[in-house]
Homo-oligomer: A and B are copies of this chain.
Amino acid sequence: MTDEILAANQRFYEAFAQADLGAMDEVWAREAPVSCVHPGWGALVEREEIMLSWRAILEGDAPGEIEYGAAEAHAGEDMAYVVCSETIGEAQLIATNVFVREGGEWKLVHHHAGPVVRRARAGDKPRPGLVN
């Protein structure tokens, strides 16, 4: 089960890395509500807006190389999520990606990515309102 979810997660990053808007469109659910939180942004909640944002990213000159790593998948019956790291150029990010089953396939319903400015260590003191 987690293999299928990790494969769906990989398709998302392949579409991103290859700047393939058609593949990106395929990755996202069509029936379930979708939402997307780009780093530093509020949530986009309309599929069309989300695809417009991906068009801007994938057709823009900003992204450069993207790689993901350390992907951990957790599966429910019909919903699953993956937490993984992202490296975009020199930026380190962390992402939560939520998937649901749609037409027998795992489709992305929620992407939330944010910057990592420090490694987390036990005993560190987070300051929750701030990127510290």
Contacts and interface: CB of A to CB of B under 8 A. Distances in A.
Interface of A: 32-33, 35, 37-46, 48-49, 52-53, 56-57, 60, 62-64, 66, 72, 74, 76-81, 83, 85, 88-91, 93-94, 96, 98, 100, 109-110, 112-120, 122-132
A53 B127 CA distance: 10
B128 A83 contact: no
Count of this chain's copies in the oligomeric assembly: 2
A113 to B, nearest CB: 7
Given A38-B126, A62-B130, A131-B131, 15 more contacts: A35-B83, A37-B83, A39-B128, A40-B116, A42-B94, A42-B116, A49-B122, A53-B122, A56-B126, A57-B127, A64-B129, A74-B79, A79-B81, A81-B98, A115-B130
